[in-house]
Structure formats: structure tokens, C-alpha cells
Amino acid sequence: MKTDVVVLGAGIVGVSTALHLLARGRSVVLLDRRGPGEETSYGNAGLIERASVIPYAFPRDWRSLWRYAKNNTPDVSYHTRFLPRIAPWLLRYWWHSSPARLARAAEAMLPLIERSVAEHEALMADAQISHLFRRNGWIDGVRSEAGLARAIAEAEDLAPYGLNYRVLDRQALAAVEPSLSDRMAGAVHWLDPVNVSDPGAVTRGYAALFEQRGGQLVRGDARSLKAAGKGWQVQGADSLIEARDAVVALGPWSPDVLRPLGYRIPMAVKRGYHQHFALEDGATLSHPVADIESGFLVTPMTLGVRLTTGAEFAPRDAPASPIQIQRTSVLARQLLPLGAAVEAEPWMGSRPCMPDMRPVIGPAPNHAGLWLAFGHAHHGFTLGPVTGKLLASLITGQAPDMDPAPYGVRR
């Protein structure tokens, strides 16, 4: 099978890239070992985080560092034996999280964040999946008056970005979400973000649009990628695929394909979990609600209320641990009358993270026709379509609508 481009990875980034390449006249094969949106793109909070203009940085104050070092918090956990392996990466992450470097990272990410909602909406309309999207923002809730004061101050600090929000005191929050307990002292309601009822279904919807427009979706092993003549070859389930260009959009598995080609990607993963719960006693939930002092989020999804956790530092392929779901479900039940879990076991996924808090988007420097799109950390679902548009412009030689330099692999 011959094609112009083979895209490796059918998550939100790969599917979006494939769609934008089709729109620019390229023939495209999208290859994955599983179906579209069945890995990391399935298990997120379903937020298109237009308000998240400051990347998630490593804490630099000693009080927070000591808190996390004790390894008993609901928002961060780690495998003790893994610490020596990840320590060099954590040190780089800490270094990039200084105020000046964090400001540069925020500046670099802003063009992507600013276009995130618009690029999703363009694909959503064409894929006819508008019913999955909700334009009611998301809520950062706090349990104390002091926490509310801090949240308001942090929102005010973001005034230069022109974000829309409103402050909710306890009474106003109860009017917006009447089933929340009065343990919440108030919240900041961010109005610009969009949320979805099923992120996996969004990715599948985009993939269906890709096939409707003539793209080919195949199963195969991306690790079989190799240079061949002036192009690339990869083994599909039924045939060998030959392409002039190849895109590596494999999220946390991208280094597995690139390492044999001589690339050492400084990537780590933050593992995360979710589980769906029923609501009891006629309770309702209309918005995603984060407990920002405890580091988890509850959001209404097709399968029930999805409880999502913070970060777990552990080997990517290590067995799942229930500790974060256990800790956060106790706290979540203090806020909402959660009933039985829908699934017997929590879902686990891995967020691909670069230490400087920005993704890799652009050409591989040592191989013609090899392109990279991964490392979006907490914002993969948010930035899938805008990443796909940027990379498709670069591949086809069109002028991009932003400077791609901050995302180069050799930055």
C-alpha cells in the first residue's frame, strides 16, 4: 500500500493531523495497534482548556516539596523504587519551572492555547458531533475562604490574557451546582473553556470523518517503522505501507519508535486514573468541578460522573495502583453523593511530558520526511486539532499561523 503520509497513532493528535493533511490534498494512512481514541485520548477530563494559559509547573517552595515528599497526598504519588530513575528528569522539570522560564513556557504555549477551542469547533461541526460539546466552562472549587482568596488572586493575575470568569461565593456556587455539599466555600468559574461528555467518542468522531473523506485507518505496529529509499515503510496488519512522509504521534510511546532511529527524547510520563460513578438521591452535576486544593476533578460524562486523578510518577508500563482513586474518591464523596462505581477497576493512562512543559511539533532533524507530534502533557485533548493544523502546514510547505520554533525537538 502506497500513500503520501502515514500517521502513527490514532489518538486525538494523530487523528487531527491526518484530517488536516487530507484537507491539504495528501493521501493519508492512519495506523494504530488499537482503535481511535482508545489510549490516552480516552481517559482525560474532557476539557478544552482555553483558560489554562500557565503550564503545570513543578513546585519550587519547600513547603510543597516536603508535602509531596511524604507521598501521601491525593494529587501526586510516586513509586519509591522509581525515584532514582526519574530524578534527573524531575530536576530538569524543576529547573524549567523557575518564574522566568515558566513565563517563557507560557508565552510559547499561548498561540496553541488561544486557538484550541476554535480548531476543535471546526472539526466538531464537520464531524457532526456537536451534541458531545458543552460550552459552560469549568469550575475551580475551594474548601476554605483562604483558598478562595488565593484562587481569586490567581485569576486576577491572569487579567492580561483577557480570560472570562466569574467568582462564585458559597451561595452562588450552590445555585449553579445544587448537589455540591457546603464543604465548598466558593469557586472561580472559567467561562472560556469547553468540555465534552465523552472524549473517546470525540476522537472516534474525528476518525470517522477522516475515513468519510477518503483516509485509510489500519491496524499495525508502529515500532516496525524504518527508512526505505526516499521514504518510509511500516508494517500494517494486512500489508506493507510505504509513504514519503511519516508522522510519529504516539504520545507516551513515541520514544519507542524514535530511539532505534537515534533520537533520545527527554520525556517522562505522569500516569493518571479515572473511574465513573453513579449519583445517588437524584443528585445532578452540570459542570466539570475541580477541587483545586485536593487535586482532582469530577465531571459529567456519558457513563456517569468521571473522577479524574492528579499525577502518579511510575514506570509507564508498571501495573496500575489503586491508591490515587482510593484517596480521591473519599474526598469526592464529601462533595457529591457518589454511588457505586460503574467499572470494576479504574482506567489508567499516561500523559507524555517534556521537562520544559511544551510539546514537540515539527520535523525530525536527522531524517527527511519524518515528523513529530507528541509530549502535550495535560493538554493533549485540548491541543490535538491545533497541533494537527500546525504540523500539516509544515509538512505541506504552507505558511503556519504561528511560529513553530518553540516546539522543535532541538529547542
| Residue 50 belongs to some domain of the structure | yes
| Residue 244 belongs to some domain of the structure | yes
**What is residue 281's predicted lDDT score, i.e. its pLDDT?**
84
* Domain ranges, residue 116: 1-57+97-133+195-267+354-411
* CATH for 41: 3.50.50.60
**What is residue 305's predicted lDDT score, i.e. its pLDDT?**
98
| Residue 237 belongs to some domain of the structure | yes
- The alpha carbon of 335 is separated from its chain's Cα centroid by a whole number of angstroms, namely 25
**What is residue 171's predicted lDDT score, i.e. its pLDDT?**
97
- Give the integer Cα–Cα distance in Å for 21 and 283: 44
**What is residue 386's predicted lDDT score, i.e. its pLDDT?**
98
Could you tell me the three cell numbers for 137? Answer: 466552562
- The alpha carbon of 80 is separated from its chain's Cα centroid by a whole number of angstroms, namely 25
- For the chain, which residues score pLDDT lower than 50? none
Across 220-326, where does the E strand assignment appear?
226-228, 231-235, 240-248, 268-279, 289-291, 296-301, 304-308, 311-313
pTM above 0.85, yes or no: yes
**206 and 12 in contact (C-beta within 8 Å)?**
yes
| Residue 76 belongs to some domain of the structure | no
Per-residue pLDDT tens digits for 307-318: 999 999 999 999
Per-residue pLDDT tens digits for 88-124: 999 999 999 999 999 999 999 999 999 999 999 999 9
| Residue 29 belongs to some domain of the structure | yes
Number of domains in the chain: 1
| Residue 327 belongs to some domain of the structure | no
| Residue 243 belongs to some domain of the structure | yes
| Residue 312 belongs to some domain of the structure | no
**What is residue 37's predicted lDDT score, i.e. its pLDDT?**
94
